Every structure is written in structure tokens, then in C-alpha cells.
Structure 1
């Protein structure tokens, strides 16, 4: 053991003469270092002068995530990283780094012109000035997260539209100063947008959707949760690539008429719809959706209190790929609606999750109907007061396909079949 320890000391005692540095070419060592994370690279940099040069080589720092060090990250750290990495850096996450501000981001943009993914989620000191810097120097930017950067305004979106035209994924959630004018400027310049997150942007109205519809034909994902001024209106053309839409809590005033209109704006290839708490939408709106969107896989109708069994009948007929359905607090749903759903193609071949908590009309009969759902993984029955433990145990004993299924009866009551 002592001889081995002595050998290790000798190998690393003189960095330039270390055996590993003699036996392996620098190119191979550099390749090895490229697989290391940030912390390990920093440790390697302290081993010797030779390793310091190799570990801190910009080619090893193409992807950096500083979230775990967020409390220690100040502007000068970002500036030093940008100078060290330069054009090598492709992805940087500064999520939660509250001390990072516009000045350091300007230096970053000037030095790291090949950046493609940038996460500034929660960097509350960031303003329009950072977006202007990115626009000037970072034309290759494809993904930008500005969640909770509350000082961002329409001027930032105008700048991005002029200089970051390759932008594909943009998160502006809770940037509540943005209006539809900003979305118009963005959509005109960034026509390759594929995902746009606008949660909590409370000043947006249906004009924003029209601009996106007109200028961003490749848009696949849009999240307008809690956009309380949203009233989707009718249009002749479609977002032909759209497959995920979130309108949850967008406004309690969205009615079935708006839903019908939105189907024409949206896409017949829609796969995921989150419409929780759209409490004025009726079966009429969801009927149009079911008849037009045959690729639906997941649907959240929590607290859509006007929905009845008729919606389930339409889904069972027209949506054979449905895998997950939330009907929480849909108080008009009955066992008969579940009967239609469970006997359909989606029920027998696809359905994995059914959330029926707080549906007071659901009884043990629903469990009988769900016997035919061969792929069911989770059933939520919290506060379904007419569903009994005896009913669940009886079904569990009768059917093989409930093995592995999680039945949730309450906060502290879960049965694994």
C-alpha cells in the first residue's frame, strides 16, 4: 500500500512530468475531460498546471448548468465564464441566479455568440437590456427561458424578433407586462417558433393568438394558463403543427362558442388539451373538439362543471388514442358516461389514467365498467362518496388487469391492486 501511495504521489507531484501526461496525448486527455461535469472539471483544474490548462479549455464548457450554485453566482462569475468559454459555449442555465443582471449578460452576449440554449428563469434583475444584447450578438439562439423576469416588456420581444430569428422555444411565463403588441412583433420576426409559454401574462388577449396563427405556422406548443383576458375567436386558417394547448384558468368566461372557434384556429392534430377551470364551457364545445381532434391523448377538464356524459360519449367515439382524462370536480358525470368510455377503443386499448375525484354521482358501478380497461394504471376516486371500499375490493378480486393499478380514495388512502 505504501509503495502504491508513493507511486501516486510521484505521478501527480510534478504536473508536467506526470506519467499520465507523458503516455496520453493532450487531445485524448481533452476528450476525456469533455465527459466531466462542472464540479469535477474544477477539481481537475487544481491537480496541476497541465491539467488546469486542459480542464479549463473552452471546448469542455459547451454545456453549463449553475442552478446548484445559484446563491453563489454573481455577475463577475458569468463574465469570467463567458471569457473562458467564448464561442464554445452552447448551453447555459442561470436558473435562480438572482444576482445576475444586465451588465454581466451584455458581456456574456458579446463573448458567447454561439449560444443556443439560455435559461434565465427567476433572474429577476434581468430587463429588456439583456434581450437587446442577445439580439445584437446571439443570432444562433434557439431556446430562451425568461420565466418570472418581471421587468421584461414588449421592447424585449421586438429586439428578439430582429436579432434572434432562429428562436424556436421561448418561455415568457409571468412576464406580465407583455401585451399582444409584443407577441405580434415576436411572431413577425421569429416565424420558426415551435413552443411558446405565456402562463400568467395577464394582459394578453385573443389578438395574440391571431398573430401567432398568422405568422408562426410551425408552432406546436402554446401555454396560456391564467391569461385572464383570453377569448379565442374564429379564423379560417389553422396552426397546422399545434399539438399541445393549455388554456387552464385562462378565463372563466370562455364558453363553448369560443371553444368551437378555437378548434378552427388550433389544429386537428391536437394531442394534449389542458382546459381546467374553464367553467363556462359546455358539452357543445367539447363535442366539436372531439369530432375534429382525433389524435387527442391527454385531456384535463378539471372543474369544467357544465360537462356531462355527452362529452364522454363523443370522446369514446372520436378519440381512439385517449390515454389520460381528468374529470375532477365534474359533478354531472355519471356511471353511464364511464360505461361509454370504458367500452370504447380508447378505453380497452389506451386508457391509463382516469381522475374522477369529487364526482358525487360516481358509484361502484363505474368500477364494474372499468374492468374492460386493460391498461389502466391509476384511478382517482377521492371524495366519491358513493364508491365503497367493498366495491373496490370486489373488483380487485375479480379482474386480473387491476393488478398494478393504483386506486386513490383520499389523501391518506391508496390501494394498490
Structure 2
């Protein structure tokens, strides 16, 4: 029955073949036969069981055109097929305009109950696409079945990377570190091209990652980026010492401005000389501790590096001061010379070359044991200068020195050092550590004529007295600008000398006073100075910074009360006029090792703005120290004082562990304390 209904439905909506009464009977009969043959073919197709398993989705296209094929999906009823009141279908697209489907002969239409009853469409979900013809025709808008919404085809994504300018892509890669650039170069050929672009390798610092990559990879990087490298740092890079890899470095790097080969002890001498010859734009060269450096190297530097401004040849044991002379005379722009522990500075020729140029702003000669007073005087005054009768000073141009390091030059005495007076007005740093024969006389004129002095190191000068610090340094023009002072192992210095210095030098940031005779008064004065120069804040969460560092270990007159004074000032919270203020600068202490752990815990809490915990730690530590002192006293109540000392010790230990080990360990220590007391 279903097949019959489907057949009838197909016949019911088939386009009528117009008949012409004026046609001859033979032509009418032939047309009827063709029509009947077509309908029988359609009936056979609709009733064929072989089409039930052919896969095809419901047709959504209009099947009617010049050569039309019938699609079962387009047989759904529409308003154009609604029967009229006379029992025939309304003339529409399928009617000829002058007749109805009911008047077409040969069609048996089944009766339909209800005027709006739709015809049963044939399901063609399994029909093959090959069952239809090559073309289909479109239905008019009033009979077209709505096309179901299909999944939208994916849009083609816009390739931002390819459309981006090369400058922007280079800028993106510039935020990667060298090790990250090497990793990113393995992504693709395009990434490899950008990762080794010369603009990214103008500064090559291998000291941070040279031990984490193979030597061949390091050599390949230098070979690829060498022509663009201007700042090269191979400090401690042992992989590059191989002959072939060093040759790659020399061949590739032709535009170096800053080069550091510090620690490359096995670098070949010929390779180093070729590298210097091929880079005539060198401005800063660091050859510290290189065994390949000789006087010949210094000669090549003087001939091929006219732009050189800084040279470091410290601890190069195969050269002497003659090489320094050649560099000083051949490099007129040289301003920074570092030659620690270089032999041969007892030569007057070297001293005259340094005096003649007068371009050095930094001169480091620490550990040069053969430097004598006469040679150093020649460096500053020259040979036989003209003397001013009124002031008894040599009439020579002032030196341009800003930093002078003469540490451990053991042959220097007052006669040689005092020549600096009134001739180094721009001096900012002076290091005289280990010059054990110096006294107050050598430093008085220097301090009085250096208003820009900020760093002064006088470690292990046991001949200095309190008068120099209280009468000269505390009243010197540089007192307000002095930032760093080191008087460690000056065993004659005490409160009388350093109290005026701490009070007047309000810009101090670090003071080394270990192994001196200072007492708690110096610590209290330092705390008061820091709090007077620092502004307080009303913001609770603003973390303070370390404004002053004090080194006071092995000072016999420093007690726990002075340490507590500093801790108390660091964590002080003031309540004035209804407003709460907090410190912005604190003092960092390095003291006796038995107290150092407590001091470090306290400063950590202060820097985290946990002032309540810091004050609690300071209070419990003070109770413990007081109980320990009482326990050491003999007489009545000795056992009771010892028990109080143990209790205070355990409470202080619990407070310290609260900031490190947590509450669990704190409870365990408390139980142990109760058992110990019982």
C-alpha cells in the first residue's frame, strides 16, 4: 500500500502534458503512449527494493530545469497544491494554466480527507547520488522546501606571523635569552633564520650558559653571529680554548667593542694576538688571569687598539710593567687601568709615562709589592717638579684620578701617600688596605682636599688614631657625601673617633668596624642617625629598605644590649597625634656569630612588615639573654636562676623556629621544655 501511495503521489504532482483537441488522432495516441511509458518507468523506480539501501541525504536543491529529474525530496506539499472547493488543485507552477490535474486523463488520484492534509513524502535517505541526473532545476520561491542549515565550513585563519613586518618579529625574539634563542631555532627554518639574525647577537654573554651547551653549539653560534657581535663575554668559558674553536672566534668576530676573556687560561697566544689585530675598535678589554698575555700582547694592543679606554691585565704573571708603559703611551684614550699584582712597578720610566699622559681616571695597583714611594711620587708629581715657595707644593696639573687602589702595597709610607694631597680634587674612592706603615699624617692633607670622596677603605692600618677621625674626617668637606667607610682591624679606634664620624657623615651606607674598640654607644648613635635622616610612612604594607650595613663582629665592647637597641629601633612603630607611622630604612648587622641567627630572623620579619613578630622576637631574646646573665651570677637562688635561663632559652628558640619551622615543631619544643624543667 505504501508503494501505491507513493506512486500515486508522484503521479499526482507530475507536470501535466497539455492536450490539443485539434491534433490528429495518431499524434495524440503516440504522445499518450510516451506518457504512459514514462509513468510506468517512474512506478518501477519507486517500487524497486534495490533503492532502499542506497545512501543519499534528502535533496535540498531545486530539481527542475531544462532537463529535469524528479527528486523525491521535492515532493513535499505546499500551498500551491491545496485543492480548491471544486475538488481540483489550484492552478500553479505544475498546471498548464488552462486545465487542472483532475482533467488529465489516465491519472487515478486517491481521495484525501481534509483539504489541508499533506501528501506522504517518500523517504530517500538511502538514495545514491548517482540515481539522479547530472543537473537539477530550481523550484520557485513559493514551493521551495526550506534548506536545512548545514555546518559552516571552517574559515581560513589569518596568518599574523607571516603578515608581520620583520622588524616586529626581530623585536619579539629580542626578549629571549641566548639559551632560549638556541632552543627556538629548532622550531623551523624560518625561526632558525630569525634566531640567528645579527641584530639579536650584538651582545653575546656566554658566562651564564656556556656550561649547559656543547662546545660545538657554542662555536656554531659564534660563527653565525660573529660579524654582528659587539659585546663579547667569554668569562670562564673553557670550551672555546680548543684551537679550532678559537680560530672560529677570530675569523667571525671583526667588530668587537667590548671583550672579556677572563679566566681563559689555556687560550693560545697566537690566537689572542690575531683577535686583537682584527678588532681595532676595541674600547674595553678584560684579559684577567690569562697566561697568554705577555709584553708582546701589550705591544699589539698599543698598535692596533687606538680607541681603547679600559684594560684589565690583573694577575697576568707572564708580563710586567713594561707592557703597561707601551699601552699607556700607545692608547691616548685609556682611562681605566687595572694591573693588580703585576711586577716591575719600581721602574721610573713607567711612572713618567703615567704622569705624562694624565688620562687615567681609575688606577688599580693592589698587590704591587715593588711599588716604592719615589716611583709613586713620580706618577703624581713627575721628576723634579717646580715647587711653590709659599705653599711648598709642586706646580703641576692636578691628576684626573677618581678611583685609586693601592691595597697591599707594603712599601708605601707616609712620604709617598701624602703627595696625593691637593692634587686629586676629583678623587671619589681611595683604598689603602694593608699599607700598615701609614699614619694620620699621610691622610690629613688628602681628606682635606677631596670634597667628592665617597669610599674610603683603611683596613688594617693599626697606626691610625681617634684624632684623625674626630678632628679631620668628621670635619672634612667630604663628610656629608661619604658612603662607605672601612676601619676593620684598626685596633686603636674606639668611640672617641667613630662617634663624631657617625654623627656627621649622614650619607653612610656601610661601615666595617670589626676588631675595633667601639662599644654599644656607636650602635645607638648609628640607629639614631638612620632614623633622623629617613622619612617615616603611614602605609602599613610599605616595606622598608636596608639603609645602613654595620659589621661589628669580634668587637669585645659590643654587648647584647647594643644589638637589642638596633633591633628595637628597626621595628619601632610610633603612635603620634592619632597617626601610626612605620620605618622606611633599617640597619643590617653582622655581629657575633652566636647572635647572628636572631639578628637575621629579626631583619627578615621587619623587611616583611611583620613588626609585631619582630618585636616579640626581640623581647624574648632579651629575656633569654638577661636570664643567662643572671644564671651566671653566684650566690643564693643559683638553681632558680639557672631554671629561668633554661626556660627563656627554650622560649627564644621556639620564637625563632616559628618563622622557620612552623607551629608543629614549636609545640614539640615546648613539651620538651616542660619535661626538662620537671
Alignment TM class, shorter chain as reference: 0.7 to 0.9
Contact preservation (8 Å) 1:322, 1:350:
yes
Q: Does 1:322 align with 2:482?
A: yes
| Structure 2: gaps (5+ residues) | 1-153, 382-395, 534-546, 573-582, 607-678
Q: When the two structures are superposed, what TM-score results if normalisation uses the length of structure 2? A: 0.54
Distance 1:209 1:368, change over 3 A: farther
Give the count of matched residue pairs: 396
Q: Distance in 2 between matches of 1:382 and 1:135?
A: 47
Distance 1:395 1:56, change over 3 A: closer
* Structure 2 residue aligned with 1:52: 192
Contact preservation (8 Å) 1:154, 1:181:
yes
Quote the offset at 1:77 in angstroms.
5.4
Rg larger in 1 or in 2?
2
Distance 1:144 1:281, change over 3 A: same
Contact preservation (8 Å) 2:513, 2:552:
yes
Quote the offset at 1:396 in angstroms.
5.8
Q: Distance in 1 between matches of 2:244 and 2:377?
A: 42
Q: Distance in 2 between matches of 1:78 and 1:367?
A: 52
Q: Distance in 2 between matches of 1:155 and 1:142?
A: 19
* Structure 2 residue aligned with 1:191: 332
Quote the offset at 1:53 in angstroms.
1.6
User: The residue matched to 1:386 in structure 2 has which SS?
Assistant: coil
* Structure 1 residue aligned with 2:452: 295
Contact preservation (8 Å) 1:177, 1:203:
no
Contact preservation (8 Å) 2:322, 2:344:
no
Quote the offset at 1:54 in angstroms.
1.8
Q: Does 1:214 align with 2:356?
A: yes
Residues 98-132 of structure 1 deviation map (CA, whole Å, 9 limit, x = unaligned)? 24346644543343221111111110122542442
Q: Distance in 1 between matches of 2:594 and 2:368?
A: 34
Q: Distance in 1 between matches of 2:210 and 2:279?
A: 23
Contact preservation (8 Å) 1:302, 1:328:
yes
Distance 1:412 1:127, change over 3 A: farther
* Structure 1 residue aligned with 2:249: 108
* Structure 1 residue aligned with 2:415: 257
Contact preservation (8 Å) 1:290, 1:314:
yes
* Structure 2 residue aligned with 1:15: none
Contact preservation (8 Å) 1:117, 1:142:
yes
Distance 1:127 1:410, change over 3 A: farther
Q: Distance in 2 between matches of 1:230 and 1:58?
A: 46
Using the TM superposition, name which of 255-264 and 204-213 deviates more.
204-213
* Structure 1 residue aligned with 2:53: none
Q: Does 1:389 align with 2:560?
A: yes
Distance 1:125 1:395, change over 3 A: closer
Q: 1:30 aligns with which of 170, 179, 187?
A: 170
Q: Does 1:98 align with 2:98?
A: no
Q: Distance in 2 between matches of 1:198 and 1:159?
A: 17
Using the TM superposition, name which of 67-76 and 57-66 deviates more.
67-76
* Structure 2 residue aligned with 1:14: none
* Structure 1 residue aligned with 2:522: 366
Distance 1:402 1:356, change over 3 A: farther
Residues 360-383 of structure 1 deviation map (CA, whole Å, 9 limit, x = unaligned)? x32233345445523561222211
Quote the offset at 1:185 in angstroms.
0.4
Q: Distance in 1 between matches of 2:561 and 2:304?
A: 64
Aligned pairs for 1:17-166 (under 5 A) are: 19-71=159-211, 80-101=220-241, 104-166=245-307
Residues 306-348 of structure 1 deviation map (CA, whole Å, 9 limit, x = unaligned)? 111122121112122111111111011121111331343xx2x
| Structure 1: gaps (5+ residues) | 1-6, 12-17
Quote the offset at 1:20 in angstroms.
4.2
Distance 1:270 1:343, change over 3 A: same
Distance 1:392 1:33, change over 3 A: closer
Distance 1:85 1:278, change over 3 A: same
User: The residue matched to 2:407 in structure 1 has which SS?
Assistant: coil
Quote the offset at 1:297 in angstroms.
0.6
Quote the offset at 1:300 in angstroms.
1.1
Q: Does 1:169 align with 2:310?
A: yes
Contact preservation (8 Å) 1:256, 1:280:
yes
User: The residue matched to 2:291 in structure 1 has which SS?
Assistant: coil
Contact preservation (8 Å) 2:219, 2:240:
no
Quote the offset at 1:263 in angstroms.
4.6
Distance 1:398 1:328, change over 3 A: same
Residues 4-36 of structure 1 deviation map (CA, whole Å, 9 limit, x = unaligned)? xxx9xx99xxxxxx9344332334323322332
Distance 1:54 1:410, change over 3 A: same
Q: Distance in 2 between matches of 1:153 and 1:184?
A: 13
Bigger RCO (CA 8 Å, 6+ sep) = 1
Q: Distance in 2 between matches of 1:41 and 1:197?
A: 35
Distance 1:351 1:83, change over 3 A: closer
Using the TM superposition, name which of 24-33 and 163-172 deviates more.
24-33
* Structure 2 residue aligned with 1:338: 498
Quote the offset at 1:137 in angstroms.
1.3
Distance 1:22 1:351, change over 3 A: closer
What do you get for the CA RMSD once the two structures are aligned?
Answer: 2.9
Using the TM superposition, name which of 314-323 and 298-307 deviates more.
314-323
Residues 199-243 of structure 1 deviation map (CA, whole Å, 9 limit, x = unaligned)? 2224434644542332251x2222222111122224434564321
Quote the offset at 1:402 in angstroms.
11
User: The residue matched to 1:212 in structure 2 has which SS?
Assistant: helix
Q: Distance in 2 between matches of 1:40 and 1:394?
A: 50
